[in-house]
Chain A
Amino acid sequence: MSASTDPTPRFVYELPLAEPAPSSSASADPDAAAPWREALLIGNVLWFVRLRWAAIASLASFGLVGIAFPDLLHSLGLRPQVDWPFLAAALLLLANLGFLGHARLIVRNPLRRGAIWNLWTQIVADLLVLTMVVHFLGSLETPTAFLYLAHVVLACIFFSRRQSLIVAAIAGGLYATCVGMERLHIIQTPGIYLDPLLRRTLTDQPAFPWVTLLSALGIYFVVWFLASHLSELVRGQELELAEANRRLTVAQREKTRHMLRTTHELKAPFAAIAANAQLLLKGHCGILSEQATQVVARIAARCRRLAVEIQEMLQLANLQSAEEHPTPTRLDVTEMVRWAVARVGAVAQERRVIVEEALSPATIVAVEDHIKMLLTNIIANAVVYSTEGGIVRVRCEGTPADGPVVTVEDEGIGIPAEKLPRIFDDYYRTEEAVRHNKDSTGLGLAIVRHVATSHRIRVRVESAPGRGTAVTLRFPTG
C-alpha cells in the first residue's frame, strides 16, 4: 500500500486523560476495613489536638486581658477573670501534650482501639474543664451552657450514635451538677458580671434555673439527634469510599501477582523452546537439512517476537501496578526522542523507512523509563505501519508556555475513523494493522495510554486510511 493522493479527510481522536475506573472482584471482608476506620480516627485525634491549642490560647488570652485591661472590663460591667483561665489553660495544655504523645505512639504502633480511647479521654477531659469555665463565667446568667454543644457535635463526628448520646448525657449531667451544686451553695462564684444584683435577680426566680437547665438539656438532645443522624450518613459514605479504595488496592495487588505468575508460567516453557531451537540452529544436535534449518529458524524468530510480547505484557503490568511509584526526574525530550528513534533503527532499516528528526530543545519532568516506553511505541508504530520507502517525521517543539509538543507523522496505512477510539485498548488491533504486520501485539498503544494518563500527556491522533497517521503528544509544563 502506498501513500495516496486521495483527498479523504483525516479523522481526529483525542485520548481522554482520565483513566477508566477499574472494577474490583475482591470479596469484601468486614473486618478488613478496620484499619481504615482506625486511620480515620487517628486523623480525628490529631485534628482535635490541634483545635485544643486554639482553645488553650483563647483561655490564656482571656486571663491576660483580665490582668492587662481591668479598667476596660470594669467599664464594660465585667469582672476581670485572672486565676481560673490560667489554671484551665494549664490543665488543658498538660492534657493536650499527653493526647499528642499518645497519638504519635498509635501512629507509629497502631494499637487496637487506641484512637477511640484517645478521643474519649480528650472529650471527657474537655467537658470537665468546660464545666469549670461554665461555673466561673456564670452557669445561668451567661449562655456558656451552649459551649457543651461543640463537644456534642464533635462526638457525633467521631463516634457512633450510641456513644455520642453518652457524650451528650455526660455534658448534660455535668451542667446539671454544676447548676445543682451552685443552688445548694456547695460551690460559689460571683460570675463574670460586676453587678451582683443581675445574678441574684435571675437565680432567685424559682423556675429560672430549672427552665434554663431543661432548655439546655433539650437543645443538647435535639442537636445530638440532628448531628448524629447527618454524621452517620457522611460516615457511611466515607467508610464506603475507604472500603472501595481498599478493595481496589487488594484487587490491583492480586492482579499484579497473577500477572507475575502467568508471565513466569508462559516464560519458563517458552525459554526452554527458545533454548532448544538455538541448540538445533547452532549445530549442537548435528547438521540439519536446509529445509529443517528454515523451520527451526522460523521457530527461533517466533520465539524472539514472543519475547517482545511478554516484555510488553510485563511493562503494562508494571504500569498498572499501584505498588510501583517511580520517581520523576527532569528529562531532555530530544534525548528521549533520539533514544527511541535509535531503538527502532533496525526495524526502520529492515523496512526501508526513513526517520527524519526536527528537534528543538525541551525538558519535562517525568519517569524516564516510562517516557522511553511511550516514545518507542509511538515511533515504532509509525515505522511498522509505514509503507516501504516511506518517511516518518518526528518533531519536537519546546513551547515554554504550553509545554513541549512531540509529533510523530507517517505516510502509512492509516486508521479508519470508526476504529480510532479503540486503538488504545489492551490487545486491540485493527484488521488493517494485522494484515500489514502480523507481529503486532496490541499492547503498544495500551502502554502509551497508561504512560500518558499517569503523566497528564495529551495524545491526539489524526489519521485517514491510506493517508498516514499523525500522533501529537502535548506534555504538561514543568
Chain B
Amino acid sequence: MSYLLIVDDDEDFATAVATVLRAKGHEVRMELEPSAAVRSMTERRPDLLLLDVMFPEDSTGGFELARTMRWRHENLKTVPILMLTAVNTRFPLGFSEKDIDDDWMPVTEFLEKPVDLDVLAERVETILAGRQGRRG
C-alpha cells in the first residue's frame, strides 16, 4: 500500500480518482489548492503526487508546485509526479516554453484529462513499481 496525494481544484474529479485508487488498496489524500498541498506534503511525504496544472488563482500553479518541490524542498525532491492536465501537452497553448520543456519540467509523466481510470490506475502502479525497484 502506498500513500498518494491528489492535488486538483476539481473535487468531483479528485474524488472519483481517489475512489479508484483506494479500491486498489492505496491510502489517498486530496488537496484542492497547491499551498495546502505543500503543507500536507511537509507533514507527510507522499509516495506519489497526482497533480493538476491549472488552478483558479494560478493558471500554471501545477508547474509551479512541481518546480518548488524539485528545487526548494530537499525532502520532496524525489517524489514522483503524475501530472493530470486538461491541456494537451502537445499543444502548449499559452504556456511559456519553460512550462512545457521536457528537460526543465520535472514531472514523471503526463496524462491528459478526461482520463480512462483503468489507464490511470495502471500508470500509478507502474510509477510506484519503478520507484520501489529503484529503492531495492
Contact = CB atoms under 8 A, between A and B. Distances in A.
Interface stretch (B15-23, B30-38, B75-83): B15-23
A275 B17 contact: yes
Interface residues of B, number: 23
B12 A276 contact: yes
B105 interface: no
Contacts of A271: 10, 13, 86, 113-115
A279 B114 contact: no
A256 B87 CA distance: 13
Given A318-B91, A318-B93, A272 B86 contact: no
Residue among A260, A271, A279, A284 with the highest chain B CB neighbour number at 10 A = A271
Contacts of B88: 311, 314
Interface string B80-121: 000000111011011000000000000000000111111000
B127 interface: no
Interface in A285-326: 303, 307, 311, 314-315, 317-318, 321
B54 interface: yes
Contacts of B117: 275, 278-279, 282
B20 A268 contact: no
Contacts of A314: 88, 91, 93
A183 interface: no
A272 B23 contact: no
A256 B95 CA distance: 11
Contacts of B23: 284
Contacts of A264: 54, 86-87
Nearest to A281: B117
Contacts of B113: 267-268, 271
A272 B20 contact: no
A283 to B, nearest CB: 10
Contacts of A315: 91
Contacts of A129: none
A256 B114 contact: no
Contact of B16 (A256, A268, A279, A307): A279
A268 B10 contact: yes
Identify whether the interface residues of B are mostly helix, strand, loop, or mixed.
Answer: loop
A331 to B, nearest CB: 18
B133 to A, nearest CB: 28
Contacts of B91: 314-315, 317-318
A279 to B, nearest CB: 5
Contacts of A272: 10, 12-13, 16
Contacts of B59: 261
A272 B12 CA distance: 6
A25 B7 CA distance: 38
Given A264-B86, A264-B87, A269-B10, A274 B19 contact: no
A46 interface: no
A275 B17 CA distance: 7
B39 to A, nearest CB: 24
A311 B112 CA distance: 11
Interface in B115-136: 115-118
A276 to B, nearest CB: 5
Given A263-B87, A272-B16, A278 B10 contact: no
A192 B126 CA distance: 90
A268 B87 CA distance: 9
Contacts of B87: 260, 263-264, 267
A321 B93 contact: yes
Nearest to A269: B10
A64 interface: no
A257 B94 contact: yes
A275 B16 contact: yes
Nearest to A304: B114
Nearest to B22: A284
Ranked 4 nearest A-B pairs via Cβ? A275-B16, A267-B86, A271-B113, A272-B12
Interface of A: 256-257, 259-261, 263-264, 267-276, 278-279, 282, 284, 303, 307, 311, 314-315, 317-318, 321, 369
26 contacts: A256-B93, A259-B93, A263-B87, A264-B86, A267-B86, A267-B87, A267-B113, A268-B13, A268-B86, A271-B115, A272-B12, A272-B16, A275-B12, A275-B16, A276-B16, A278-B116, A278-B117, A279-B16, A282-B118, A307-B114, A311-B88, A314-B88, A317-B91, A318-B93, A321-B93, A369-B90
Given A271-B115, A279-B16, 20 more contacts: A256-B94, A260-B87, A260-B93, A263-B93, A264-B86, A264-B87, A268-B86, A271-B86, A274-B115, A275-B114, A275-B115, A276-B16, A278-B117, A279-B20, A284-B19, A303-B114, A314-B93, A318-B91, A321-B93, A369-B90
Interface of B: 10, 12-13, 16-17, 19-20, 23, 54, 59, 86-88, 90-91, 93-94, 113-118
